[in-house]
Chains A and B, each alone.
Chain A
Amino acid sequence: MRWIRRRVGAAPIVAVTGAAFSACTPEPPAQSAAGPGPDVAELPAHAPEHFGFGMPASEDRVARWDIDVKPDGEGLPPGSGSVAEGRFLYETYCLQCHGPTGTEGPNDRLAGTGEWEQWPAGRTVGGYWPYATTLFDYTRKAMPQTTPGTLTDDQVYAVVGYVLSLSGIVPADAVMDSASLAAVEMPARGRFVPDDRTGGPRVR
């Protein structure tokens, strides 16, 4: 692959291990037959190193669009919200889809721990979600379903805190902010393992 030899700053590909993911830096999964092969198109030999297409992204542009939150808390915004505030927000914006205690539906069940044995039905925040940061990330982007992205960061902290409290993961008097949210240890955290399917004769 001509251009692959020429590519700039290519990362070394690390083979996956059989162990569970380490805290925040799991290695990429193994990729039998998924990497470059005969299906990968090559650039012409005379293609330039850089085409110069597009325009530079300013720091401001990146800051406005880079809204995701990483599992170590990177990307969490300033601000805070209490579980008590979150309860009011939950009952205003969330209750009609998720029920008075986060268990009634009709949409996804949120509350509950120790529900692993009920999978796949029991994919609750308390029983299945491995990172509390994910709940902030998802709630800020995608909830409430009919008016997504309308809660302030303080409101997201508050309602995330309340949803976590429904599963007993944080106390009723908790105040969530970037530090306290990143410090939350979710019960299902150690449950996840890398994909060990590799093709070949063995069924996994």
Chain B
Amino acid sequence: MPGGLSRRAWLAAASGTAATGLVMTRWDALKATPQEASPAAADPTKTPGRFVSEVGTRAPGEQPRRLVRTLALSSSSRTPLQDLNGTITPSDLHFERHHAGVPDIAARDHELLVHGMVERPRVFRMADLKRFPQTSRICFIECSGNGGGAYNRNRMPTAITPQQLDGLLSTSEWAGVMLSTVLREVGVRPGATWILAEGSDAAVMSRSIPLDKAMGDAMLAYVQNGEAIRPEQGYPVRLLLPGWEGNAQVKWLRRIEVTDRPTMTRDETSRYTDPLKDGTARQFSFVMDAKSIITFPSYPYVLPERGWWEIEGLAWSGRGRITRVEVSTDGGRSWTDAAMQPPILSKSTVRFRHLWNWNGREAVILSRATDETGYVQPTVHQLWEARGDRTSYHQNHQRAWKVSADGTVTFGLGDLL
């Protein structure tokens, strides 16, 4: 530990973010120096421990936090990707994106109306929805605006964490009823091609969804990681569209109208459309293409010494399973297959690892994911070429980190341009 600084202090100094909660990590704990030992560590075998409790809490030294940028009705908070492990996001750390705040809804009062081009328009209470056969799946939800902070060639960040850049990504085990089961109950009429999903928030958030997705793997989810879905994620029931952009997965769902055309709501016209360099804008760009990001080492971590370090991160695709993750430690000149840690699930995040013997010299590390369609996570140059350099949404290009000789880590994409 250079200069006698404690590991925590060093990280804090390096990041300038001592109070953000970013500095205490799993890795930090492993490397904790004796002067950081808490009184509780004296000798726990000589003092009886605490009693049982009704609700557990995290260890005092493990306090990951969402990142709240601005307090506003239409705002977001981001998942601390660099502080988490495995693939499941603890429910209280699932990212948020609300367009008019989080509504307080009592499940017993909540009703879902399903109507439009159906034989039998019906109203379902939560108790009704829960009587249908239940199913579950693990999948990610990602805001399609995630990662846009690393797309502008004139403003490429350096001091940015995985949370700040890509924290609008979370993974949960969801359970509920297949939307197809509910649509079968009401009887979809011939000629129907879309549905409109409408939320019960103060923005009445609404999106049009093609009927084949609705009859495919779409779910009405009321369970998140073993308990009722959180208010921030759409309590008491949300639309779950595995692999599709988060905005379309309408929370606090109160109405589904089966239609023969899209409604052209605000959030599928003026927002969540992707301007292209030819003067057009891509609309209904639902699917999240394959993407990955290294979460360690990343800013604001510091590598205190050369030697063996395990690079790790997350990879995911909205089109199916991730089949390959490659890591480069030389700025993209050569690539090596990373190990993918089970489970490897369709439309879910997979954790990858690559054992790296850092020689102590400056290195730029990257990852790139390939999915089962053969799609390879592109470079930012490829996206600029395909869409122009001022598009927005779906910016899934490769991310890079620069490990400097002093062990500090910064976002490194700008160094490759």
List A residues at the B interface (Cβ < 8 Å): 3-4, 7-11, 13-14, 20-21, 24-29, 31-41, 43-44, 47, 49-51, 53-57, 61-62, 65-71, 116, 119-120, 123, 125, 128-131, 133-135, 137-138, 141-142, 145-146, 148-149, 191-201, 203-204
Contacts and interface: CB of A to CB of B under 8 A. Distances in A.
Nearest to B278: A193
A73 to B, nearest CB: 11
A101 B198 CA distance: 31
Contact of A13 (B113, B122, B184, B212): B212
Best-buried of B178, B196, B210, B279 by chain A (most CB within 10 Å): B210
Contacts of B100: 142, 145, 148
Contacts of A10: 188, 215
B133 A44 contact: yes
Contacts, number: 265
Contact of A62 (B121, B346, B382): B121
A86 to B, nearest CB: 18
Interface residues of B, number: 98
Most buried by B among A3, A135, A148, A193: A193
Interface in B168-219: 178, 180-181, 183-185, 187-194, 196, 198, 202-204, 206, 210-213, 215-217
A67 B255 CA distance: 10
B285 A197 contact: yes
Nearest to A20: B280
Interface string B226-270: 000000000000000011100000000011010111111110011
A116 B270 CA distance: 12
B281 A192 contact: yes
B335 interface: no
Contact of A33 (B210, B260, B319, B378): B319
B282 A193 contact: yes
B113 A62 contact: yes
B121 A57 contact: yes
Contact of A34 (B74, B187, B213, B254): B213
Given A70-B261, A138-B265, A203-B382, A56 B121 contact: yes
B65 interface: no
Contacts of B374: 199-201
B92 interface: no
Given A66-B257, A200-B375, A39 B289 contact: no
A68 B196 contact: yes
Contacts of A24: 261
Contact of B287 (A3, A125, A141, A197): A197
Nearest to A72: B261
B386 to A, nearest CB: 5
Given A29-B284, A34-B243, 6 more contacts: A54-B122, A54-B125, A68-B196, A133-B264, A138-B265, A197-B289
Contacts of A62: 113, 115, 121
A7 B185 CA distance: 9
B286 A29 contact: yes
7 contacts: A35-B216, A41-B135, A51-B132, A62-B115, A137-B265, A148-B203, A204-B387
Contact of A192 (B283, B318, B319): B283
A8 B192 contact: no
B157 interface: no
